[in-house]
A and B are shown apart, each in its own frame.
Chain A
Amino acid sequence: MISKNLLEIRDLVKHFPLKKTGLFQPPRYVFAVNGVSFSLKKGQTLGLVGESGCGKTTTGRVILRLEESTSGVVEFEGRKVAQFNKKELKNFRESAQMIFQDPFASLNPRMNVGAIVEEPLLVHAIGNKADRKDRVAAVLEKVGLEADYMRRFPHEFSGGQRQRIGIARVLTLNPKLIIADEPLSALDVSIQAQIINLLVRLQEEFYLSYLFISHDLAVVEHIANRVAIMYLGKITEVAPSTDLYSDPRHPYTKALLSSIPIPDPQAKMERQILQGDIPNPANPPSGCGFRTRCPIAKIVCRIESPKMVKVGKDHYAACHTL
């Protein structure tokens, strides 16, 4: 059976072991990703939103097998990624790529732009020298940079331009899936708009699918078709973008939305300010991870972790009160 989803994740788990603090201590883990499931259709954007320690970056890395999962299934075009052999994994990486958060750390400072953007073609042995040069020039122009920039080095560019170089590097292989991990966080506000628009244009032109990881709800609302909210390694709510913002059902989603200050001095907001800090993912609360800050927590929340239930069309949330 051919899956109509480009990417499907089922019960994904990733635990990082911590060093033992004593000879007879029990093993401790960081429960980074603790049972995550979602799917992504071709040409669509899924936003993955959450705060520190929620596991969104780890999820992205496990999907690309930059880390091996502890358990669970990652399926790309209907095939299980964990079972790929070396050759299949290499092919997979031609189709699934990542854009990173830090435009200063993700480019090798000792390679010029041409070499950086060309590298994926070399790794996958695509084309000859002339073909590669043409491809690099074409892809640089697609992201709004001049082909001439090939000769320059990363330090000669601004943050926004370096992020464009990172995007160009990803595009050289004609990928199907792009995981963008906080691609805008290190950029100035007015540059963010440029990069968002670029990503939207490229998606249309090349029918790309994005997994857009971010903590910025306003940006995600703008660019994603569907949004999944994560907290302490689990998805708390997932819905089509418009529904999540107009009709949030999970108390964490409501708190997140009301935490964002609106750029309008007249706006009267019903502010739901959460008390307390985000728990340590190495020591999550029993039952529902959100219960320590939840305004409507009940006894059952302490005992049992809530399952995802349907609360609307394509709209799911994990909360005992629903």
Chain B
Amino acid sequence: MATENNNVPVLSIRDLRTYFHTQEGVSRAVDGVSYDVFRGGTLGVVGESGCGKSVTALSILRLIPTPPGEIVSGEIQLEGQDLLGLPMKKMRSIRGNQISMIFQEPMTSLNPVFTIGNQLSKVFRLHQNLSRKKADKKAIEILYACEIPSPERVMNAYPHQLSGGMRQRAMIAMALGGNPKVLIADEPTTALDVTIQAQILDLILRLKKEFGMAMILITHNLGIVAKGAQRVVVMYAGEKVEEADVSDIFERSQHPYTKALMNSIPVLGKRTKFLEEIKGVVPAPFRFIPGCKFADRCPEVIAQCLETRPQPRERERGHWVACFC
């Protein structure tokens, strides 16, 4: 059952639609997505490229470049407070402070011309109004908490002087500096080596617990979801197709896409001759599809799927599925 012990969502998204206006047409990157993140919980958001998982996260922080992007409709609330209508000045005080984000590629999200110390202490100077000296001290403390062996040295280092794992730790330190209520981790380990991935994942999960944060863990890796998430949302082509507790997603998934995804991954220790394929490709985001977006690849498709778009319905307690099957 759900392990959250209170039902107050700390972050709430309702019917979010984020579109991009491009020369080829309107790209419906997020097309009516709703989910909640609970205090102290971890929501895993799973899907492949183009499913909208990252754009949803960027929409929460209102980091969508406008134009060509546009949050067309929907509601996003942090502890009941509307975020989409906030003036930018207030939104900036929420970013990095109440809601933080770590990205996949630490080299592209850290400023290459400033030292780690400079970038990190800025978090404390900006959000907690500390003096430079006090901010530096806090920065060292948090680098240490992120398992960086010689924090003083790293303070004076530039991003390119650190390894991938170290950069990611520095970015995590920056994200935690503001003591956020919600941490959004967008593919935090994908760009790292396997043995470093394990270190970083463990670190993130441990710090999340210590700091008492809620987390949105965005990934395409089902192993990471199994380890880190309590609830899971599966996305496909801009929509939520299934949502359930992590054990239900793995043992009793109901949406044909989720089932097919589970069966198409090679799992250590379970060798078969052929993997189950999902025929076809993800639809181009500019195509307007009247019915279910997965219909043309679905092994269980029926006539209704092509005409009407299925909405997520609570099939069992806490288990939502958008399917007519």
Binding site for B on A (CB under 8 A): 51-52, 158, 160-161, 188-194, 196-197, 200, 215, 217-219, 221-222, 241-242, 245, 255-267, 271, 273-275, 277-278, 293
Q: Separation in Å of the A304 CB from the closest CB of chain B?
A: 24
Contacts A193-B277, A262-B226 given; indicate if A273 touches B202 (C-beta within 8 A). Answer: yes
B208-255: which have CB < 8 Å to A? 220-227, 246-247, 250
- Shortest Cβ distance from B196 into A: residue: A277
Binding site for A on B (CB under 8 A): 48-49, 163-166, 193-199, 201-202, 220-227, 246-247, 250, 260-262, 264-269, 271-279, 281-282
Q: For A278, what are the chain B residues with a Cβ–Cβ distance below 8 Å? A: 163, 193, 195-196
Q: A200, B273: Cβ atoms under 8 Å?
A: yes
Q: Separation in Å of the B59 CB from the closest CB of chain A?
A: 22
Most buried by A among B196, B262, B276: B196
Q: A200, B193: Cβ atoms under 8 Å?
A: no
Question: A222-B275, A277-B163 provided; 20 other pairs, C-beta below 8 A?
Answer: A161-B281, A188-B48, A189-B220, A191-B281, A193-B265, A193-B266, A193-B277, A194-B278, A200-B273, A221-B271, A222-B266, A256-B195, A259-B194, A262-B226, A263-B265, A264-B250, A265-B226, A267-B226, A277-B196, A278-B163
Contacts A52-B193, A255-B195, A271-B198 given; indicate if A263 touches B262 (C-beta within 8 A). Answer: yes
Complex CA distance for A30 and B279, rounded to whole angstroms: 43
Complex CA distance for A264 and B222, rounded to whole angstroms: 8
Q: For B222, what are the chain A residues with a Cβ–Cβ distance below 8 Å? A: 189, 263
Q: For B49, what are the chain A residues with a Cβ–Cβ distance below 8 Å? A: 188
Q: A261, B201: Cβ atoms under 8 Å?
A: yes
Partner of B264 from A52, A190, A271 at Cβ < 8 Å: A190
Q: B274, A158: Cβ atoms under 8 Å?
A: no
Complex CA distance for A275 and B272, rounded to whole angstroms: 33
Q: Separation in Å of the B180 CB from the closest CB of chain A?
A: 24
Q: For A260, what are the chain B residues with a Cβ–Cβ distance below 8 Å? A: 194, 198, 223, 268
Q: For B196, what are the chain A residues with a Cβ–Cβ distance below 8 Å? A: 51, 277-278
Q: For B202, what are the chain A residues with a Cβ–Cβ distance below 8 Å? A: 271, 273
Q: For A258, what are the chain B residues with a Cβ–Cβ distance below 8 Å? A: 198
Complex CA distance for A190 and B198, rounded to whole angstroms: 23
Contacts A190-B278, A260-B223 given; indicate if A245 touches B269 (C-beta within 8 A). Answer: yes
Q: For B267, what are the chain A residues with a Cβ–Cβ distance below 8 Å? A: 218, 262-264
- Shortest Cβ distance from B166 into A: residue: A277
Partner of B276 from A158, A193, A241 at Cβ < 8 Å: A193
Most buried by A among B194, B201, B278, B281: B194
Contacts A51-B195, A160-B281, A260-B194 given; indicate if A245 touches B268 (C-beta within 8 A). Answer: yes
Q: Separation in Å of the B272 CB from the closest CB of chain A?
A: 7
Q: Separation in Å of the A199 CB from the closest CB of chain B?
A: 11
| 17 contacting pairs across A/B (C-beta < 8 A) | A51-B195, A51-B196, A188-B282, A191-B281, A192-B265, A193-B275, A217-B194, A218-B267, A255-B195, A261-B201, A261-B221, A261-B226, A262-B223, A264-B267, A273-B199, A277-B163, A278-B163
Q: B268, A221: Cβ atoms under 8 Å?
A: yes
Complex CA distance for A255 and B142, rounded to whole angstroms: 28
6 tightest A-B contacts by CB?
A261-B223, A263-B222, A193-B264, A259-B198, A51-B193, A193-B275
Complex CA distance for A261 and B271, rounded to whole angstroms: 17
Complex CA distance for A192 and B209, rounded to whole angstroms: 34
Partner of A264 from B226, B260, B275 at Cβ < 8 Å: B226
Q: For B276, what are the chain A residues with a Cβ–Cβ distance below 8 Å? A: 193
